[in-house]
Amino acid sequence: MKHVPLSRYRVSVDPDLLRRIDPHEYTFEMVGYPGQTFRAAELGSHPVISRILLGAFIERYGALGRGTRATRWVHVGAFVDHLAHDGEPDDVASLDEALLKRYLLAVKRKDWAAKTKHSSFKTAEELVVLIARRHGKLVRRTAAPFPGIRRAGNPTPRLSPLALVKIIAAAKREADDVWETFTSAPSVDPSSRLGEILSIITSKYGGIVPKSSTERNFSRRCLNNAEFSVESLSRYLCATPDSLLPFLILIAYETAANADPLRAFKRNCVHDDVLFRDRAIIVWEKGRAKKEQRVSRDRRGKYSAPALIAKVRAMTEPLLQAAPPHLRSRLFLARNGKAEGLVAGISPSLSEYLIARFITRNNVTEEDGSRVHFTLEMMRPSVLAAVYRQTGDLLATARLANHVSLATTIRYVIDRITDEMHDIAIADMQRRFNEIIQEGETDDSQQDQAATSNARRESSDCRNPYAAPFSRRPGEVCPSWLWPLNDPGLVVADDPDVVVHHVRHLRALEARRDLIPMRRFDLLYGDAYRIIRDDILTRMSPATIAAANAAADLLPPLPVFESD
């Protein structure tokens, strides 16, 4: 037989099929093979549903291989046989979730192999979901109808939305307690038993509780009282593995960093943002990435990443002198009596052990009451999936993840919950589309809103010129920034009523020039300042300038465009 390239085994569905409605039959033409024809009449009873299923079958499986299509068609026939056996009506309205549940029970009773049962049910489910979308309805997919067989969803493990909320809430509570204990050490009464012990640790042992095995005298003097333990004493003076864990979880949540690079964060990972004084840039290295990872975060929030990192730096500062030289640049250091030496980093095995204790300590459970399975590696895909569900913006999620390819982001965000959200959105759009076709009308208010959503705004109204809707790529200033001063076709009339606006703008810039960092002023406002001062006003007549200045004196100054 003549060899046919693999790429030619795939076929495209006839575009004209989109103009047809539920064909009686369809033939797939393939190079080197006879045509493969599927007829609705082959399915037996229920001619209306059979034609609808054939149309959905062509759309869903038309681009698959010849053998796969034939197998799927057999499963479609089994589904129609079930409809006839159970006396289901020959009406598209009967294709709903209740029908799929009844079919699933019937398939489970079949004397088929487990994989065949799974394939048969999933074929029927995919077609019913597709048909429901066409009619503006929502049919939810069944999660793992046959556990262990072709498990649905992205293989990347992630937390459920409820578990993620519970873990972050528990981490915030523990972080607050840890920080309150650490900052209360200077206020402890030196004459109390606790104050005496802390004084001994600080003066004799450099602020780090020594190992009992090497300092038995300390153990006999201080730890023979059940009121104190190594962990409780250490929390007043420095970081411990358990006290660092909630900060590790919260920083992972804020930055969406991978687990291993997160544990290796450097102490100098936070840098000032020269454009925005209330924000900071967090940078870190990722071994397999080709570029430095970086995110910008507001530093003012109590649980913002810059604020959390500053707290971790303060808690680990006393450990630097005792840390091995190769670990002194690390952010996450802890007093660890089980490791060689007093100070060590947070290893993967240690973080797994700490998280298990954290889950048990806070009783974090799923909706069904079962214990949550959580590792630090699950935080990144869980955060990215949550961001995508909230925003629906795949590009924004990819930028947060520092992904080069959107295909990588898709593997992180697509799962059963996201699929259900897509189904809801598609069904809603299809319903609205059907209403437009039937009624022939649209909502004028929605059109007006869409028409004005992309209107260019004045430059002084733009809060972030690097995140405006017209930005072409991250890091580029939005082309609308300084609009209309950057318009090459800008014409400014030699008229006081026109020039007075530029005079007021120049005065506002001059009033704030010395109160804003020079680099920031030059980056954001320097072009506007120079264009107005050196290019626009110098071309106006002296009479126009004088009249414009006189008019500006009578008008109130422009609002402060940037606070101190």
Q: How far is CA 133 from CA 92, 101, 198, 427, 462, in A?
A: 12, 18, 67, 5, 40
Per-residue model confidence (pLDDT) at position 225: 56
- Among residues 233, 262, 264, which one has the least CA distance to residue 249? 262
Average pLDDT for 69-88: 88
Handedness of CA 290, 291, 292, 298 (dihedral sign): negative
Which of the listed ranges 26-40, 183-197, 361-375 does the model predict with the highest average pLDDT? 361-375
The pLDDT > 90 percentage for the chain reads 14
End-to-end CA distance of the chain: 80
For residues 118 and 429, the model is more confident at 118
Do 319 and 243 meet the contact criterion of CB atoms below 8 Å apart?
A: no
Return the exposure string of 167-205: e unless at least 16 CB atoms fall within 10 Å of the residue's CB, then b: bbebbbebbeebbeebeebeeeeeeeebeebbeebeeee
Q: How far is CA 97 from CA 128, 376, 457, in A?
A: 9, 36, 48
- Per-residue pLDDT of 484-526, as tens digits, reads 565 545 567 788 888 888 888 888 888 878 787 787 788 778 8
pLDDT confidence bin for 456, thresholds 50/70/90:
very low
Do 423 and 142 meet the contact criterion of CB atoms below 8 Å apart?
A: no
Q: What is the average pLDDT score of the chain?
A: 77
Residue 41: pLDDT over 80: yes
Per-residue model confidence (pLDDT) at position 43: 82
Give the SS3 label for residue 39: strand
Q: How far is CA 412 from CA 158, 210, 372, in A?
A: 9, 44, 20
Distance of CA 113 to the CA centre of its chain: 39
Per-residue model confidence (pLDDT) at position 197: 79
- Per-residue pLDDT of 457-481, as tens digits, reads 334 444 455 554 444 445 444 544 5
Preceding peptide of 34 cis, ω within 30°: no
Q: Where are the alpha helices (DSSP H) in 91-153?
A: 97-108, 114-134
- Per-residue pLDDT of 204-250, as tens digits, reads 777 777 765 555 555 555 655 556 777 778 888 888 889 999 999 99
Per-residue model confidence (pLDDT) at position 545: 92
Per-residue model confidence (pLDDT) at position 22: 55
CA–CA separation, 537 vs 514, rounded Å? 22
Per-residue model confidence (pLDDT) at position 522: 80
For residues 214 and 335, the model is more confident at 335
What is the phi/psi pair of residue 249, to 5°?
A: -65, -45
Identity of residue 125:
E
CA–CA separation, 209 vs 476, rounded Å? 51
Average pLDDT for 410-433: 80
Find the largest Cα–Cα distance for the chain: 98
pTM: predicted TM-score of the whole model, two decimal places: 0.58
CA–CA separation, 555 vs 215, rounded Å? 77
